[in-house]
Chain A
Amino acid sequence: MNKVIYMDNAATTATRPEVLEAMLPYFGQTFGNPSSIHGVGREARKAVEAARKQVADAIGAEAREVYFSAGGSESDNWAIRLGCAAMSKKGKHIITSAIEHHAILHTCEAMEKEGYRVTYLPVDEFGLVSVADVENAICDDTALITIMAANNEIGTLQPIKEIAEIAKAHGVLFHTDAVQAIGAIPVDVKEWGVDMLSMSGHKFHGPKGIGALYVRKGIRMSNLIHGGAQERGFRAGTENLPAIVGIGKAIELAVAELPEYTEKMTALRDRLIDGLTERIPEIRLNGHRTKRLPANVNISIRYLEGESILMRLDLAGIEASSGSACTSGSLDPSHVLLAIGLPHEIAHGSLRLSLGMENTEEEVETVLNELPKIVENLRAMSPLTPAYLR
């Protein structure tokens, strides 16, 4: 069989060879504990702080505003908890959106159990949060707003700068989950005006299990993990040294490559969207046509069920996803697709193709040839397919 075509970069990306190379010495000769006094320890400390600077520079922050974590989920959990704690005097109300990642939604649900009120803002048919809705939802006791920068399933980009302005005007903290945005669109925390921002290394060709949380200086920090003095005492535990080096290198490379990435991904994405729309009757693009991640394609294919499409694609050597990787084990259609108003059976037949720099025009053409065949074949098998499509 030909080489596998990987179009699931929103689930995770391959660690770049340059990143791996940068990490390797820290498993080997520079294995030291960054808290140690001796030479190899000091080398390790230097590497951690250099990586912190790389992350900070990539998002327009100061190094001391960057805290390492074990990934996007951990950063999201931490941000909500520390934001609420910092604002405890103001009140117990959180505003978020209906299409957040579960790392946000489930943390908000946990906060509800602890006595917080949470407003889950609806989105429009394109997955956009309305800035006016955010403003209207703010109450005297609102402590925190958390709205994602880019959606992992349908790729919709939110008006983060405008929401940040409103949050600021009302004295409310604003966190954004930028896990899908870093390395995909320009991110500058000062220009956006966000108070906190989450990222995850494995979404931009860094290693898995490492993330970072930006917390604007001046916000009262609180602990995620109690113990030693790591991460200025707020997240104890000996640092994941090689992974920290990896996320630093990965974000530096991703940001340097951004103009090229944007151009190439947008072209491949649009070719896919246009080609599929031309070749497959009765499909719909989910998300916004232009306010969209450059590498995200999400379509609903009527009369079909997502897993069957994915597995047929897999048999044809094309790796994609039907929602986010974490929900593919569940039977319910994605909460994001339901939130944009798709009926149950259409949400069920959705497919996400998320591109990366390794993808080529030829691979896109292969998908454009294979997918219509698979759809036709599966539609012939579906009791829902109307006669004119058979």
Chain B
Amino acid sequence: MYSEKVMDHFANPRNVGEIEGASGSGTVGNAKCGDIMKMDIQVENGIIVDVKFKTFGCAAAVATSSMATEMVKGKTIEEALALTNKAVAEALDGLPPVKMHCSLLAEEAIHAAIEDYQKKHPQG
């Protein structure tokens, strides 16, 4: 039911954990299933230099957050904001239809972390 890439990211998730004194962090819940994800980002000169996540969620939630963290690491805030859950799912060779909503968790968690960062560091 899951692609090999999903299985790989599920079995060996990248960037699991928390960042002490993160520049921004966001926790979101999935309205559909009740699962939860927390994302921390470290930003230097407008670039996401580090990102870590934790999740209480299914295999698709783990795999999409793992993939999403890899995709935003080293990117600018603008680039990270442009990342969609569809792009993440595609990078994983697709998700079963009932599991598409899980990939939203990762996208929303990244957005929440960035929002938190922007609140703490108002541009000016």
**Contact between A303 and B98, CB atoms less than 8 A apart:** no
Is residue B27 within 8 Å, beta carbon to beta carbon, of the partner chain?
yes
Q: Is A380 an interface residue (CB 8 A)?
A: yes
Residues of B within 8 A of A345 (CB): 34, 56
The 8 A CB mask of A298-317 against B (1 = contact, 0 = none) is: 00000111111001100100
Cross-chain contact of B58 among A303, A305, A344, A380 (Cβ < 8 A): A305
Q: Are B58 and A381 in contact (CB under 8 A)?
A: no
* B-side interface mostly: mixed
Is B71 at the interface (CB under 8 A from chain A)? no
For residue A28, CB closer than 8 A to chain B, the reply is: no
Residue A218 interfacial (CB < 8 Å): no
Q: Pick the interface stretch among B9-17, B41-49, B82-90, B116-124.
A: B9-17
Q: Across the two chains, which residue of chain B brings its CB closest to A331?
A: B33
Q: Kindly state whether residue B94 has any CB partner on chain A within 8 Å.
A: no
In the complex, whether A383 has a CB less than 8 A from a CB of chain B is yes
B22 contacts A by Cβ under 8 Å: no
Residue-wise, chain A 347-387 has the 8 Å CB interface mask toward B (1 for contact) of: 01000000000000000000000000000000011111000
- Shortest CB–CB separation between residue B99 and chain A, in angstroms? 9
Contacts of B37 in A (CB 8 A): 383
Instruction: List A296-340 residues whose CB lies under 8 Å from chain B.
Output: 303-308, 311-312, 315, 329, 331-333
Known contacts A331-B33, A380-B16, A383-B37; is A308 also within 8 Å of B57 by CB?
yes
| A384 contacts across to B, CB distance below 8 A | 36, 56
B80 CB to nearest A CB, Å: 20
CB-based contact A383/B38 at 8 Å: yes
The B23-42 residues at the A interface (CB cut-off 8 A) are 27, 32-38
Distance A231 CA – B81 CA, assembled complex (angstroms): 65
Inter-chain CA distance A304–B33, complex, in Å, is: 13
> Whole-angstrom distance between the alpha carbons of A332 and B58 in the complex?
12
The answer, yes or no, to whether B55 is at the interface (CB within 8 Å) is yes
Known: A315-B11, A381-B62. A344 touches B34 (CB 8 A): yes
- Kindly provide the distance from the CB of A144 to the nearest chain B CB, expressed in whole angstroms: 35
- The digit string for B53-78, where 1 denotes a CB below 8 A from any CB of A, is 01111110110000000000000000
Q: Is the CB of A348 within 8 A of B11?
A: no
The answer to whether B56 touches A304 (Cβ under 8 A) is yes
- Identify A381's interface contact among B16, B27, B35, B98, CB under 8 A: B16
Interface residues of B (CB under 8 A from A): 10-11, 13, 16, 27, 32-38, 54-59, 61-62, 98
Please report A residues at the B interface, Cβ cutoff 8 Å: 303-308, 311-312, 315, 329, 331-333, 344-345, 348, 380-384
Q: In the complex, given contacts A345-B34, A383-B38, what are 5 additional A-B residue pairs having Cβ atoms less than 8 angstroms apart? A: A306-B58, A307-B59, A332-B33, A381-B55, A383-B55
List of 4 A-B pairs having minimum Cβ-Cβ separation, nearest first: A307-B58, A383-B38, A383-B54, A331-B33
